[in-house]
Amino acid sequence: MVDHRSVFHAICFGFYAYTCWFDAGLISGDLLPISGNFFSKFVWLTMVDLYLQTFYHLWGIFSPSCSCNKAFHYTAKVLVGPIGLSVVLLFWALYTLDPDFLLHDENAKKIIAITWFNNAIHSAPALTVFLDTILWQHGRITKGAAVTGITIFAILYLIDIHYVHYISGFWAYPILGLLPLPARALFIVACVAVFFIQYVFLDTISGWIHGVPIVEPAKKHGKKHH
């Protein structure tokens, strides 16, 4: 019998894989941050999330029948969930404040105007993350392990952003170029804080749905008094 979670992941994989295919034909050549360099598109957190969601759901198709899936659960809790929700929250918050904070030119605005594609990369992750949280008991992760994972990702992503800017003069998000250095640093810290908040939020939701494992206090071994 097919596990219902495998069906869920198969549907999500098909959806995100098609979106990746559409994106590959839509954003290419001179539209890339570094002209002709496919991998330069990963300077956008949205693109990191799109491909992360795609590979995660491909992995998820086989995870219900795999006994060695600690890495799967860790990836879901620390990366897939927090990054997915952060993309949705940060995009719509900044876009609502001023579209020019995110969109460089008319080409970017035309791409975002493709409604289904815009929602596939900037709205759908929230839905699939919540459904994943409902369907899976990913377990509890130590605070140290969670902080380490999110911190490493944040550092690597910041290196990516600044490397692409150093090479091409291209800021992934126009708002980074508009802000003076102190304000830019605060903005980046705030965005990283959003990642951590989303992790705590999803962990709390998971606890409500699946329950929090109860850790019994260790019994004290002492001398018996008669």
Dist CA 224 CA 101 (whole Å): 69
Dist CA 8 CA 12 (whole Å): 6
* Residue numbers in the chain where pLDDT is lower than 50: 214-218, 220-226
- Cα angle, residue 63 at apex, residues 59 and 67 outer, rounded to 5°: 135
Tell whether 120 is covered by a domain. Answer: yes
Tokens of 173: 């998000």
Tell whether 223 is covered by a domain. Answer: no
Tell whether 141 is covered by a domain. Answer: yes
CB 175, CB 102: distance < 8 Å: yes
Dist CA 46 CA 30 (whole Å): 19
* pLDDT confidence of residue 215: 41
- Tell me 172's DSSP state: S
Which residues form the domain of 167? Answer: 4-210
* pLDDT confidence of residue 217: 44
Tell whether 220 is covered by a domain. Answer: no
Distances (CA, A) of 123 to 65, 81, 128, 225: 30, 13, 9, 64
* pLDDT confidence of residue 107: 75
Tell whether 172 is covered by a domain. Answer: yes
How many structural domains comprise the chain? 1
* pLDDT confidence of residue 96: 93
Tell whether 217 is covered by a domain. Answer: no
CB 132, CB 81: distance < 8 Å: yes
Tell whether 112 is covered by a domain. Answer: yes
Dist CA 15 CA 218 (whole Å): 48
Tell whether 102 is covered by a domain. Answer: yes
Q: For 12-56, write each residue's pLDDT tens digit.
A: 999 999 999 999 999 888 889 898 899 999 999 999 999 999 999
φ, ψ at 117 (rounded to 5°): -70, -45
Q: For 74-92, write each residue's pLDDT tens digit.
A: 999 999 999 999 999 999 9
Q: Taking the model in full, what pTM does it have? A: 0.88
* pLDDT confidence of residue 54: 98
